[in-house]
Amino acid sequence: REKFSEAKRLSMDGKLRQSKQFQDALEVLSSNKDLFLKCLQEPDSIFSEHLGGWLSVPPPPDTRRITVLLPSKAADDCSSPVAAN
């Protein structure tokens, strides 16, 4: 949280964006997903300003199954009996 506040302050100054402190703060946020998501939810977050409408897009629903697609010829071959010679 402290690193986020520091990154926000440093991001306001273009010269400071290249600083080691700013890079460290970004590294902390990128390695901690929960902290980053919490920071995004803050109304005055620099991240939410830059991401704009992207934040309003809902994530895809969780799916619990996998559909396997086969070419039609392979599907036909699988359903026909194997001829014994």
Residue range 7-49, pLDDT digits in tens: 666 565 556 556 677 677 778 777 877 877 777 777 676 665 5
The two three-digit tokens of residue 51, written as one number: 């991401």
Q: Is the pTM of this model over 0.85?
A: no
Domain boundaries, the chain: 1-55
| pLDDT value for 85 | 45
SS in 3 state form for 6-45? HHHHHHCCCCHHHCHHHHHHHHHHHHCHHHHHHHHCCCCC
